[in-house]
Amino acid sequence: MSNRITNILIPVISVLLGIIVGTIIMLVSGYDPVAGYSALWQGIFGEIYYVGETIRQVTPYILAGLAVAFAFRTGLFNIGVEGQLIVGWMAAVWVGIAFEDLPKIIHLPMAIIAAALAGAIWGFIPGLLKAKYRVHEVIVTIMMNYIALHVTNSIIRDVLTERSDRTDYIADSASLTSPFFESITDYSRLHWGIFIALACVFIMWFLLEKTTRGYELRSVGFNQHASQYAGMNVNGNIILSMVISGAFAGLAGAMEGLGTFGYASIKGGFTGVGFDGIAVALLGGNVAIGVVFAALLFGGLKVGALNMPLEAGIPHELVDIIIALIIFFVASGYMIRYLIQRFSKKGVK
């Protein structure tokens, strides 16, 4: 069986396995899986409002997924998307509330760029440490996540507000909200951000596949020694990759800060979008278009899950379990690939 088909089959099989195990869990804990899944379905497609909410949820998922996938293609594991997202969120809101009389055409891009920049800086640090000191980026980005959480909380409490848990709303001129989208989706929180996310999908694809820079990034990702031998700037590409990855993550934060919520607040824990981004990238095979499909699936599941307690009395955490299982299955692709080969061989005989 060709590699290409296997590469598509693995995520599909993983999703199916995730759903099967989800069914088993519902059965074992005394819930009705049919009711559960139809509630889930209804929660995604049942009303135009839900569709709007799904697309809204998909927006940061695409960007977080791109962030993880982009770093991955350069051989880096960016677990720090969560932290980069949080600082991006805060930076966007900061710019959003700091200016009041700017025209939208200046203010909105400024806020968006601030988010990308903040995320990029947060990605720059682990990139630099990796390039210069060979420190493993996984550990550093995990640590950076917590530093981001505490630092942004402290800034929101002591700089952006006077010991309040929440900032003011951003100025209209910095907002991504779209009355038009809201009106056609029965007043969901769908905003313009989805176009930014899709633009980034194109950027990632074009950059990696079509440019000499992308050739270098991919080369460094596969083999640093050969890249150095070939005369590429390995350290520069490592740092650049983390910076771009961080910028994508920061933009995901902007989607929340400028689109969905319009403010930033003190957080007790992480948003989870960054970690879900790992799942999105992985399921999407770390390619730009794959990320879109995976983000649609996970975004749909997350939003649809909220309907499960209402209609079927099933805790929405079931979907988190299913997502975690899907990650397990995709990550264990070696096993699935092995099984596919076994089966296809038997089929031939």
Partner 1 sequence: MGLMDILVILIPSTLLWASPLIFTALGGAFSERSGIVNIGLEGLMVIGAFSSIVFNITFADTFGSATPWVALLVAMVMGGLLAVLHAVASITFRADQVVSGVAINLLAIGLTLFLVKRIYGKGQTDIISEGFGKVDVPLLHKIPVIGDIFFSNTYWPPFVAILVSVIVWYVMFKTPFGLRLRSVGEHPMAADTMGINVTRMRYIGVIISGAFAGVGGGVYAQSISSDFSHATISGQGFMALAALIFGKWHPLGAMGAALFFGFAQSLSIIGSSIPLFENIPSVYLLIAPYVLTILALTGFIGRADAPKALGTPYVKGSR
Partner 2 sequence: MDYVIEMLNIRKEFPGIVANDNITLQLKQGEIHALLGENGAGKSTLMNVLFGLYQPEQGEIRVKGKKVNITNPNIANDLGIGMVHQHFMLVDTFTVTENIILGREPKAGASVDIKKAEKDISDISEKYGLKVDPSAKISDISVGMQQRVEILKTLYRGADILIFDEPTAVLTPQEIKELIQIMKTLIKEGKSIILITHKLKEIMEVCDNVTVIRKGKGIGTVKVSDTNPDSLASLMVGREVTFKTDKTEATPAENVLEIRDLNVKDSRNVPVVKSLNLEVRAGEILGIAGVDGNGQTELIEAIAGLHKAQSGSVKLNGKEIVNLKPRKIYETGVGHIPQDRHKHGLVLDFPIGENMVLQTYYKKPFSKKGILNYKNIYDQARKLISEFDVRTPSEFTLARALSGGNQQKAIIGREIDRDPDLLIAAQPTRGLDVGAIEFIHKRLIEQRDNGKAVLLISFELDEIMNVSDRIAVIYEGQIVAVVNPKETTEQELGLLMAGSKGKGTGENANV
Q: Which does 29 bind (CB under 5 to 8 A by kind): partner 1, partner 2, none?
A: partner 1
Residues 3-42 binding partner 1 (CB under 8 A) are: 25, 29-30
Token code pair at residue 236: 């520069």
Considering beta carbons, is residue 214 or 315 the nearer one to partner 1? 315
Contacts with 255 (C-beta within 8 Å, 6 or more apart), sequence order: 59, 60, 63, 176, 191, 193, 196, 197
Q: Which does 103 bind (CB under 5 to 8 A by kind): partner 1, partner 2, none?
A: none
The whole-angstrom separation of Cα 148 and Cα 18 is 32
- Please report how close the Cβ of residue 135 comes to partner 1 at its closest, in angstroms: 4
**What sections of 255-332 are H helices per DSSP?**
273-283, 288-305, 307-312, 317-331
- Per-residue mark of binding to partner 2, 231-270 (x: CB under 8 A): xx--------------------------------------
Residues 206-225 binding partner 2 (CB under 8 A) are: 210-215, 218-219, 222-223, 225
Residue 77 as a binder of partner 2 (CB under 8 A): the answer is: no
Residue 332 as a binder of partner 1 (CB under 8 A): the answer is: yes
Residue 324 as a binder of partner 1 (CB under 8 A): the answer is: yes
Partnered with residue 107 across adjacent β-strands are none
Q: Which does 73 bind (CB under 5 to 8 A by kind): partner 1, partner 2, none?
A: none
Considering beta carbons, is residue 44 or 318 the nearer one to partner 1? 318
Token code pair at residue 144: 């950076």
CA quadruple 57, 260, 240, 208: dihedral sign: positive
Q: How far is CA 32 from CA 6, 29, 212, 291, in A?
A: 33, 9, 54, 31
Residues 140-159 binding partner 1 (CB under 8 A) are: 140, 142-147, 150-151, 153-154, 158
Residue 104 as a binder of partner 1 (CB under 8 A): the answer is: no
- Please report how close the Cβ of residue 241 comes to partner 2 at its closest, in angstroms: 16
> Segment contacting partner 1 (CB under 8 A): 46-54, 252-260, 289-297, 317-325?
317-325
Contacts with 141 (C-beta within 8 Å, 6 or more apart), sequence order: 77, 78, 79, 80, 83, 126
Three-state DSSP state, 177: strand
- Please report how close the Cβ of residue 145 comes to partner 1 at its closest, in angstroms: 8
The whole-angstrom separation of Cα 242 and Cα 127 is 5
The whole-angstrom separation of Cα 220 and Cα 83 is 25
Residue 343 as a binder of partner 2 (CB under 8 A): the answer is: no
- Output DSSP code: residue 189: -
Binding footprint of partner 1 on the chain (CB under 8 A):
25, 29-30, 77, 79, 129, 133, 135-136, 138-140, 142-147, 150-151, 153-154, 158, 268-269, 275, 278-279, 282, 315, 317-321, 323-325, 327-328, 331-335
